[in-house]
Chain A
Amino acid sequence: MTTLLEPGAGEGTVLPLARHAPARTSAPVRRQMGGVTRNDRLTVLGALASAVCTSALLFGRVATFSGRFGFVVVTYVVFLATYALLVWLSDDRPAVIDKLMTVVLYSAAAVLASGLISVVSFTLWRGRTALGKSNLYVQDMSNAGPADPLTVGGIKHALVGTLMMITVALLITVPLGVACAVYLNEARSRVSRIVRTIVEAMTALPSVLAGLFIFATWILILGFERSSLAASLAISIMMLPIIIRSSDVVLRLVPGNLREASAALGAPAWRTVWHVVLPTARSGLATSIILGTARGIGETSPVLLTAGFTASLNTNPVSGPMVSLPLATFEFVRSPQPALVARGFATAAVLMGVVLALFIVARIIGGTGPANLSKRKAGRLVRRSARDVTRFNDATRGAPPC
């Protein structure tokens, strides 16, 4: 459809600004786009105060809706309504929706954060008495009965077990996983595509099935006993796809021109991988291995099916049952004895500490892509190349010109 300009339409396009705008005496004030004003803050606080009061009132009347959880939910709903009303007094509809959604997004993040904080602090709180006793870390449970106080017995056996299992699992998964990731990146053939698809599929394998597989093959068919080695194998099957997949992603981030430069200088393929690709991706590889390790350490179900259970320290990986921290936690809290439950919480707290330590190491080592250098790393590279320049200069000064 075409519209023709009607006669006289020209007058309508004159901006009405000219008539209404007062003569400017100063520079125009910039419209505020973001940030929080005092008014905003007061509106939120006012709505919150009114919501708490309203739901406190409601909870005196509606007896069926009880519990702290219900109180929080009701308060939140009332808060949203009040806040919308308050904003609506001064702003138009899009602004009301914008502010309301901002508050909703803030609260979603707050729920997630409080979930994590609640999980961690509850575990620490319930385990506090057992965590404070030093025997927790240096004794095992062989001399401690279920009813014994927390001053006897500890989880040394589980701590050692976890470390042994994860060490063996890493000995299997790191060389195999990184080599496979290199293969996926270097050889782009039909076979490598099949391998990638299968690995991707196996990340969906529920961990309990990895345990069941080892239980049925290693223990029932091949007739080996339940041991830490079996558990390591189960954990490896679970960790392998995770490590391969994340290493594959990291290796894919290595810039192609580095590979090409190395090939152009005449380096054979293995030298390119060993001296260029892997060092460039080192921090990313370390991160993916460590995060895979954190997953593997925390898994209970493969260990539950394959490692057996013992209350005493066992340092032989190929024979005899061995427990890990998550399995010990699981077995402790299944008992009705309060002392054992407290031990379970302390074990869980120690397990979280191990995972947190791994996590911090991962953050320190890596977390940045291959191109993003930290300040120290960049400085080191600059110094190294300065050394190279002097070395070249020295070499050319002595040698005859060619």
Chain B
Amino acid sequence: MQTTHVVDLRPDGQAPKPRPVRGVPSLSDRLFRRGSGLSGLLVLAIMAAVGLFLAIQAAQALRTTGASFLTTAEWQPDRGRFGIAAVLTGTISIALVAVAFSFPIASGTALFISEIAPPRVKKAFIAMVDLMAAVPSVVFGLWGLYFLQDQVIGLSRWLSIWLGWIPIFKVTGADPTNPLASESVYTASTFIAGIVVGLMVMPIQCSVMREVFSQAPAGEREGAFALGATRWGMVRAVVLPFGRGGMIGGTMLGLGRAMGETIAVLLIISPRFEITIHVLEAGSNSVSSLIALLYSESSDFGLSALFAAGLALFCLTLAINFTASAFVARSRSGATSEG
């Protein structure tokens, strides 16, 4: 080991002055900062352009109808009578059916993955959920149209016969006394579309919840076990309270995704412009499928009306997404990777 001798080489022997740390950034640094800032601004410009254009295009239609845009169920822009009352209720009811169906399964799977599954199964399930999130929506739509519909009609009929006195399960035109009645009153319904969309949003809900559940503090888990809790007792006392924000946030993220879904809904439902809460009945509608259905046959004004409907949908999904991410962010611990 060599020893190092520090030799003061300054000729005048004065005390060293601190070097100024904040100097003028070099040319390359300035270019880099300018460049990356430019890309940020470009992205900002593109995104703002989409939002602004949406608003400007929608304004034309909204000016002519005013508040009746929210209350009209018909969609005849060229006759001046159009509104999103029916399509928006359709969108919301499809999304609610989807979430009602996906929430128990997604949270159950998330708990299974984070609490019960042995390591190898856990890895496989995480990969599977990720893969499911990447399955294209048109594939889900095909499955719903050609496979699920036949399976669900029996359930729809049973629900409408035995629970038809509850308004949402009522089916007008159904004839339970006639065993040979056509099943077409149950097809293409909000219920079926909702189940398919529910399956599509399940992975995102599940992965958000799983992540939050797995962050539940180990010390408190062990504490619960040490106090004699069963596994479910521990989950109820530690994991669920800790993960509540993530559960709400994940569910709402799924809700937002469910509202924007286009192709699967378009394949399954038959469009209908009536406000209805009878989810089992044939016919439904959603904003995004309305756009995909009518964009090419619309006049300029009709297109503006479609933009207005799209704007309403966007505002709704935006509000839901922001609320959801606020919930998820609050439930995360403040751990950072600094260090």
Q: Among the listed stretches A49-57, A195-203, A373-381, which one makes contact with chain B, having 4 or more residues with CB under 8 Å of it?
A: A195-203
Q: Are B134 and A209 in contact (CB under 8 A)?
A: no
Checking B125, B136, B147, B235 against A118 with a beta-carbon cut-off of 8 angstroms, the contacting residue is B147
> Which residues of B in the span 93-148 have a Cβ within 8 Å of any Cβ on A?
104-109, 111-113, 115-117, 125, 127-132, 134-143, 145-147
Q: Are B33 and A112 in contact (CB under 8 A)?
A: no
Decide: A300 near B263, CB < 8 A? Known: A102-B116, A253-B337, A255-B337.
yes
Interface residues of A (CB under 8 A from B): 33-34, 63-70, 73, 94-95, 97-98, 101-102, 104-109, 111-113, 115-116, 118-120, 122-123, 126, 175-177, 179-180, 182-184, 186-187, 191-192, 194-195, 198-210, 212-213, 215-217, 220, 237, 240-241, 244, 252-257, 268-270, 273, 291, 294-295, 297-301, 304-305, 326, 329-330, 333, 341, 344-345, 348, 351-352, 355-356, 358-359, 363
Residues on B with C-beta less than 8 A from A240 are: 43, 46-47
Question: How far is B117's CA from A113's CA once the two chains are assembled, in angstroms?
Answer: 14
Q: Are B314 and A116 in contact (CB under 8 A)?
A: no
Verify if B35 is at the interface (C-beta below 8 Å from A).
yes
Question: How far is B292's CA from A34's CA once the two chains are assembled, in angstroms?
Answer: 52
Checking B44, B154, B259 against A66 with a beta-carbon cut-off of 8 angstroms, the contacting residue is B154
Decide: A116 near B337, CB < 8 A? Known: A106-B112, A204-B320.
no
Q: Are A209 and B54 in contact (CB under 8 A)?
A: yes
Q: Are A294 and B134 in contact (CB under 8 A)?
A: yes
15 contacts between A and B (CB under 8 A): A64-B161, A105-B112, A109-B108, A109-B125, A183-B36, A204-B260, A212-B306, A216-B303, A256-B337, A256-B338, A257-B339, A269-B33, A270-B29, A298-B134, A329-B138
Having A63-B179, A69-B154, A180-B43, one finds 8 other A-B pairs with CB under 8 Å, namely A95-B230, A105-B109, A191-B40, A208-B288, A298-B135, A348-B136, A355-B134, A358-B134
Closest-by-CB residue of A relative to B339 is: A257
Verify if B14 is at the interface (C-beta below 8 Å from A).
no
Q: Are A206 and B47 in contact (CB under 8 A)?
A: no
Checking A180, A206, A351 against B39 with a beta-carbon cut-off of 8 angstroms, the contacting residue is A180
Question: How far is B43's CA from A220's CA once the two chains are assembled, in angstroms?
Answer: 23
Residues on A with C-beta less than 8 A from B139 are: 119, 123, 298, 329, 348, 351-352
Q: How many chain-B residues does the 8 Å CB contact rule pick out?
A: 103
Closest-by-CB residue of A relative to B311 is: A209
Q: Are B136 and A183 in contact (CB under 8 A)?
A: no
Residues on B with C-beta less than 8 A from A192 are: 40
Q: Are A104 and B108 in contact (CB under 8 A)?
A: yes
Verify if B72 is at the interface (C-beta below 8 Å from A).
no
Q: Are B109 and A119 in contact (CB under 8 A)?
A: no
Verify if B275 is at the interface (C-beta below 8 Å from A).
no
Question: How far is B128's CA from A341's CA once the two chains are assembled, in angstroms?
Answer: 28
Q: Are A208 and B314 in contact (CB under 8 A)?
A: no
Q: Are B104 and A213 in contact (CB under 8 A)?
A: no
Question: Which of A107, A179, A199, A341 counts the most B-chain CB atoms under 10 A from its CB?
Answer: A179
Checking A64, A207, A254 against B260 with a beta-carbon cut-off of 8 angstroms, the contacting residue is A207
Question: Which of B125, B135, B321 counts the most A-chain CB atoms under 10 A from its CB?
Answer: B135
Which 10 A/B pairs are nearest by Cβ-Cβ distance? A108-B108, A67-B154, A298-B136, A206-B260, A270-B32, A179-B39, A98-B230, A183-B40, A183-B36, A204-B321
Question: How far is B47's CA from A194's CA once the two chains are assembled, in angstroms?
Answer: 12
Decide: A213 near B53, CB < 8 A? Known: A95-B230, A98-B233, A298-B136.
yes
Checking B26, B129, B199, B314 against A209 with a beta-carbon cut-off of 8 angstroms, the contacting residue is B314
Verify if B197 is at the interface (C-beta below 8 Å from A).
no
Checking B57, B131, B263 against A356 with a beta-carbon cut-off of 8 angstroms, the contacting residue is B131
Q: Shortest distance in angstroms between A364's beta carbon and chain B's nearest beta carbon? A: 12
Decide: A204 near B138, CB < 8 A? Known: A122-B143, A176-B39.
no
Q: Are B291 and A209 in contact (CB under 8 A)?
A: yes
Question: Which of B138, B141, B306, B313 counts the most A-chain CB atoms under 10 A from its CB?
Answer: B138
Q: Are B233 and A94 in contact (CB under 8 A)?
A: yes
Verify if B267 is at the interface (C-beta below 8 Å from A).
yes
Closest-by-CB residue of A relative to B143 is: A119
Q: What per-residue 1/0 map shows which CB atoms of B136-170 lie under 8 Å from chain A?
A: 11111111011100011111011001100000000
Residues on B with C-beta less than 8 A from A104 are: 108
Closest-by-CB residue of B relative to A206 is: B260
Verify if B250 is at the interface (C-beta below 8 Å from A).
no
Closest-by-CB residue of B relative to A354 is: B136
Residues on B with C-beta less than 8 A from A294 are: 134
Q: Are A352 and B47 in contact (CB under 8 A)?
A: no
Checking A95, A220, A344 against B303 with a beta-carbon cut-off of 8 angstroms, the contacting residue is A220
Verify if B190 is at the interface (C-beta below 8 Å from A).
no
Q: Are A69 and B147 in contact (CB under 8 A)?
A: no
Question: How far is B43's CA from A237's CA once the two chains are assembled, in angstroms?
Answer: 10
Question: How far is B288's CA from A223's CA once the two chains are assembled, in angstroms?
Answer: 24
> Which residues of B in the span 1-60 have a Cβ within 8 Å of any Cβ on A?
25-26, 28-29, 31-33, 35-37, 39-44, 46-48, 50-51, 53-54, 57
Question: How far is B204's CA from A291's CA once the two chains are assembled, in angstroms?
Answer: 13
Q: Are A194 and B131 in contact (CB under 8 A)?
A: no
Q: Are B134 and A359 in contact (CB under 8 A)?
A: yes
Question: How far is B306's CA from A101's CA once the two chains are assembled, in angstroms?
Answer: 47
Question: How far is B146's CA from A33's CA once the two chains are assembled, in angstroms?
Answer: 46
Q: Shortest distance in angstroms between A8's beta carbon and chain B's nearest beta carbon? A: 29
Verify if B256 is at the interface (C-beta below 8 Å from A).
yes
Residues on A with C-beta less than 8 A from B267 are: 330, 333
Verify if B231 is at the interface (C-beta below 8 Å from A).
yes
Checking B53, B115, B138 against A300 with a beta-carbon cut-off of 8 angstroms, the contacting residue is B138
Q: Are A112 and B42 in contact (CB under 8 A)?
A: no
Question: How far is B140's CA from A268's CA once the two chains are assembled, in angstroms?
Answer: 49
Residues on B with C-beta less than 8 A from A270 are: 28-29, 31-32
Residues on B with C-beta less than 8 A from A180 are: 36, 39-40, 42-43
Q: Are B142 and A333 in contact (CB under 8 A)?
A: yes
Q: Are B155 and A73 in contact (CB under 8 A)?
A: yes
Q: Are A126 and B137 in contact (CB under 8 A)?
A: no
Q: Are B199 and A98 in contact (CB under 8 A)?
A: no
Q: Are B46 and A237 in contact (CB under 8 A)?
A: yes
Verify if B318 is at the interface (C-beta below 8 Å from A).
yes
Checking B37, B232, B291 against A98 with a beta-carbon cut-off of 8 angstroms, the contacting residue is B232
Residues on A with C-beta less than 8 A from B42 are: 176, 180
